[in-house]
């Protein structure tokens, strides 16, 4: 004959609460660290913009820990994350972002990138915005081989603004038409 175990009432509930508390803490820490890492990659989720009385628009960006300037903006009204790249001739857009922005694929051709020769498609971005700076009719390339959702903001866009780097900040300036 076996002796019945005498368990303290509520012991199973206490153990369940401990496991649930541990799980919730782990989920909360994951969310906190994911947000922190995202902020390290893109410290310019809402770029700082100014507008002077003479109509000069400025956007100030902070450099990330890797030494790059990454900022949120829009392509044809669709949110995008830009990596400023003065070594890129055109704006290079991953296929997923191009599809969401409803960009049309033009002629296919080969382009030389840091990852070798790739096939890209010509396209035209009607409107590209970064902070309060808005650029129109930007030559770009849809690059299906690009992974992720980060758009390389190349010289086809950057040549339309002035930029100056001081320390860890980069200021982009767009002059009004009358001052150009």
Is the pLDDT at 10 greater than 70, yes or no?
no
Instruction: Please state the domain count of the chain.
Output: 2
Is the pLDDT at 135 greater than 70, yes or no?
yes
pLDDT tens for 13-46 read 777 777 777 677 666 666 655 554 545 579 999 9
Which DSSP string do the residues of 81-126 spell out, in sequence order?
Answer: EEEE-TT-SSEEEEHHHHHHTTPPP--EEEEEETTEEEEEEEEEEE
CATH number of the domain where residue 143 is located: 2.40.70.10
In a domain, residue 46? The reply is no
In a domain, residue 4? The reply is no
Residue with tokens 């989920």: 27
* 40/63: higher pLDDT: 63
Residue with tokens 């368990």: 7
Q: Which of 108, 119, 112 is nearest to 145 (CA)?
A: 119
Q: Which of 6-10, 32-36, 50-54, 71-75 has the highest mean pLDDT?
A: 71-75
Q: Does one domain contain both 19 and 76?
A: no
Distance, CA of 58 to CA of 47 (rounded, Å): 10
In a domain, residue 54? The reply is no
In a domain, residue 72? The reply is yes
Q: Does one domain contain both 21 and 75?
A: no
Range of the domain at 131: 63-159
Q: Does one domain contain both 92 and 153?
A: yes
């Amino acid at each position: 004959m076996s002796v019945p175990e005498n368990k303290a009432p509520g012991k199973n509930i206490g153990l369940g609460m401990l496991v649930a508390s541990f799980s919730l803490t782990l989920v909360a820490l994951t969310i906190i660290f994911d947000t922190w890492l995202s902020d390290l990659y893109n410290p310019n989720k809402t770029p700082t913009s100014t507008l002077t009385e003479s109509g000069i628009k400025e956007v100030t960006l902070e450099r990330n820990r890797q030494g790059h300037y990454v900022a949120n903006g829009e392509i044809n009204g669709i949110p995008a994350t830009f990596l400023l790249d003065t070594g890129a001739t055109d704006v290079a857009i991953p296929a997923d972002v191009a599809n969401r922005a409803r960009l049309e694929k033009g002629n296919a051709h080969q382009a030389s990138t840091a990852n070798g020769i790739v096939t890209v498609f010509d396209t035209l971005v009607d409107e590209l915005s970064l902070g309060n700076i808005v650029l129109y009719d930007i030559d770009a390339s849809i690059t299906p081989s690009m992974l992720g959702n980060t758009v390389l903001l190349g010289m086809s866009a950057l040549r339309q603004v002035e930029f100056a780097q001081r320390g860890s900040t980069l200021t982009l300036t767009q002059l009004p038409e009358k001052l150009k």
